[in-house]
Structure 1
Amino acid sequence: MLPIHLDLGFTQIYFYEGIYFLISILLGVWWSHKRVKTYGGKTEKFEGLVVWSIVGALIGARVSHYVFWQSDVFFENPAILFSPTGAGNSITGGLVGGMLGGYFYVKRNNMNYWEYFSLLSPGVLLGQAVGRVGCFLNGDAYGTHTSSFLGVEFPRYATTVPAFETEYRLSSPAWQSSYEAGLVDQSSTMSAALHPTQLYEMFGDVVLILLVLWVFKKIWPNDKKSPLIFFIHTGGYALLRWALEFIRADKEGTTMFNMTNLQIVLLLYGLFTIGYATKYYLNKKKGSS
């Protein structure tokens, strides 16, 4: 694990994830471009689609974080949305924002949204998976305490780059949470054993990639404009994230049935996608019989 502080000279960004996010974006864009080129998409439009999607993702990630996770901070200082050093990016909001950004672009350029989402979906999921590995290395999005063999202890201190010196003045959120819960003492340099929910989500994303690739192979030759992959991708991720929220230690307060507001939204959307995808499949099967 490598949690880092980025020293820019004039300011420091603590527990910086941007490097890991950059790697995830580059890998996702690379695979997406390869698929668009392989399957006959408009490669000349790809750059614009990526830019609009990334801008939408960045806006959605920041807004969603402060709506669902730190609404009190946002209402005290709305300008924090535009702070380059302010923490707070939600992968769920990033996915929604990226989809909206991509939607506006393809509509303006007379492209079919379902078709291009099907082409880009595996690359987006790859970016999501690599991003969660980054969360694991950074030590955020951590889970609750566990005594099982799956538990991972996260470092208390991070390394400042480019100096590569350990910064002892600031403790990691995972350690702080463990300390406040009485699971470790002041002298410890590692957190208690916590569920690596970041890796659980990464494995879930990999499963979704395999499922999307399998469905794509089945439907692409005869139904390029099918919305099935969109609903498998977004609905599958919604249900994955809904389940993992039960063992996330950094979630905000619950509202009903031991669920957060975000979980309720995710569950309702996931159930909707199952119903829609089932209805679409049955109608297509009936029409071809």
Structure 2
Amino acid sequence: MIQFQDLPTKINPIAVSFNGFDLRWYSISYLLVFITVVILISFRIKKNDAQKYFNLNLSFDSLLEILTWLFFGAVLGGRIFHIFLNLNFYFQNPIQTFSPFQNSQFVGLYGMSFFGGLIGALLTGYWLCRKKKISFTSLINFLLPAFPLGYFWGRIGNFLNGELYGKKTDLPWAMNFPTDPENLPRHPSQLYEAFLEGIVIFLILWSIRNHPKLKNQILPLFLILYGIIRFVMEFFRENFDGTYLAGLLTQGQLLSIVTLLFGLFILGYRYENTGSGNFLR
């Protein structure tokens, strides 16, 4: 019988292996992210939420095209930002910058940054809205409530991959991770984040998705919620990226503060400009 504490060590991160091609659960989790978001957006399209609440006259095919662009923008942004935060490693190993192969085996792209993915998705969305002449804020506020549930699968992928585990602890639900060189019980911080940053934020945003006033504040509310929760989660995550301000903040906490402040800035801007409500329109 598998002990609960040793569960991660019994999980094979490779879902399918064929002729040297390894398909990892982590890669499948990215597919689940996209599928989950498409299903939720399809539900909203059928309910005519886009036209009724956001004055978006777009077909499902158009929105599927936009979601595809946003997905690739997020992946590209997440990868570039990760590389930027780890320049020393990639200067020494330039072939791994965008190569999905290691030791002649396909392993996918290792190393992504959520914050970079968020920036990449928002910039891609802004570019698409300018190109298609539609409201950026309306589109983002319409789409965003679905994304946290997709994000849930990303954190599950981290768990199945045995990466981004938490700090050492003696709590009864602590787990051993195969990639931990110390092989000590740790917080399953990936599961904490999957629940809090994924499910909890999804339930909050989904419940207000059509609210007469709050539906137009989805983006800043998401940034604020994620910034706060991620800041707290950093106390449970093992710190792999160094600290700042004399060791007071982790890299993730510093970026969480920036995310939180940006969300507050958007709310403040809209509060001062309630007559227009056209921020980045």
Q: TM-score range by the shorter chain?
A: 0.7 to 0.9
State which of 145, 156, 164 in structure 1 corresponds to 2:168. 145
State which of 122, 128, 153 in structure 2 corresponds to 1:99. 122
What's the counterpart of residue 244 of structure 1? 233
What's the counterpart of residue 116 of structure 1? 139
99 and 36 in structure 1: CA distance in 2 versus 1, 3 angstrom threshold:
farther
Alignment: residue pair count: 249
What's the counterpart of residue 17 of structure 2? 7
- CA shift at 1:50, angstroms? 1.3
What's the counterpart of residue 192 of structure 1? 184
Unaligned runs of 5+ in 2: 1-7, 102-108
Q: CA-to-partner distance for each residue in 1:71-98, whole Å, 9 max, x for gaps?
A: 2222223442321234212233222212
Identity %: 27
67 and 244 in structure 1: CA distance in 2 versus 1, 3 angstrom threshold:
farther
Q: Does 1:26 align with 2:18?
A: no
Q: Distance in 2 between matches of 1:127 and 1:233?
A: 14
Write out aligned runs for 1:125-144 (5 A).
125-144=148-167
Q: CA-to-partner distance for each residue in 1:167-207, whole Å, 9 max, x for gaps?
A: xxxxxx2x32xx2xxxxxxxxxxx42211111111121222
- CA shift at 1:37, angstroms? 4.0
58 and 283 in structure 1: CA distance in 2 versus 1, 3 angstrom threshold:
closer
Q: Distance in 2 between matches of 1:100 and 1:239?
A: 23
- CA shift at 1:150, angstroms? 3.4
| Contact persistence 1:48–1:105 (CA under 8 A) | no
111 and 283 in structure 1: CA distance in 2 versus 1, 3 angstrom threshold:
closer
36 and 76 in structure 1: CA distance in 2 versus 1, 3 angstrom threshold:
farther
Q: CA-to-partner distance for each residue in 1:12-47, whole Å, 9 max, x for gaps?
A: 57x651012211221122212322442134124112
57 and 279 in structure 1: CA distance in 2 versus 1, 3 angstrom threshold:
closer
Q: Does 1:46 align with 2:63?
A: yes
Q: Which amino acid aligns with 2:35?
A: L
Unaligned runs of 5+ in 1: 157-172, 180-190
- CA shift at 1:238, angstroms? 2.5
TM-score, structure 1 normalization: 0.76
- CA shift at 1:60, angstroms? 1.0
Q: Distance in 1 between matches of 2:135 and 2:272?
A: 22
What is the SS of the residue equivalent to 2:147? helix
Q: Which amino acid aligns with 1:9?
A: N
| Contact persistence 1:145–1:194 (CA under 8 A) | yes
| Contact persistence 1:231–1:273 (CA under 8 A) | yes
